[in-house]
C-alpha cells in the first residue's frame, strides 16, 4: 500500500530550493576536482616528451630539486605549470652541453 504525504506548496518549494542548491554545490565540487586531476598533473612519460629528455635526465631534475613532483606508490606526477617553468632551464642546459659536444 502506498502512502500519500501532503505538504504545503511553500514547504515543497523550500525543500526543492535547498535540494537544487545542494545539487549545484556537488556539481561545482566535482568540476573543480576533475579539473585538478586532469588538467594539472603529468606523468613521467609526458614530461620526458615535453622536455625532450630521457627518463634518467628527468630523474636528475627531480633529485637536484629543479623539478618538483608528487609520488603515489611508485608512480611519479608533475604539475604542468612546474614543467612549463623549467623549459627554459632545460633548454639552457641543452645549449651548454652542445657547446661541450655533449647532449642531455
CA angle 89, 85, 87 (to 5 degrees): 40
Q: How far is CA 48 from the centre of its chain?
A: 17
Neighbours of 90 (CB within 10 A): 20
DSSP E strands: which ranges in the chain?
Answer: 41-43, 70-72, 75-79
pTM (two decimals) = 0.60
| CATH entry, 40-99, from 2.60.40, 1.10.3470, 2.70.98, 1.10.1660 | 1.10.1660
Helices (H), 40-79: 44-51, 55-63
pLDDT digits (tens, 9 = 90+) for 36-82: 655 678 999 999 999 999 999 999 999 999 999 999 999 999 999 99
Amino acid at each position: 500500500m502506498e502512502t500519500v504525504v501532503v505538504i504545503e506548496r511553500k514547504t515543497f518549494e523550500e525543500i526543492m530550493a535547498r535540494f537544487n542548491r545542494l545539487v549545484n554545490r556537488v556539481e561545482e565540487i566535482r568540476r573543480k576536482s576533475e579539473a585538478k586531476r586532469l588538467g594539472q598533473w603529468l606523468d613521467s612519460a609526458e614530461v620526458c616528451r615535453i622536455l625532450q629528455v630521457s627518463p634518467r635526465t628527468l630523474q636528475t631534475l627531480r633529485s637536484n630539486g629543479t623539478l618538483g613532483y608528487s609520488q603515489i606508490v611508485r608512480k611519479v606526477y608533475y604539475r604542468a605549470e612546474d614543467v612549463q617553468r623549467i623549459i627554459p632551464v632545460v633548454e639552457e642546459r641543452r645549449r651548454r652541453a652542445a657547446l661541450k659536444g655533449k647532449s642531455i
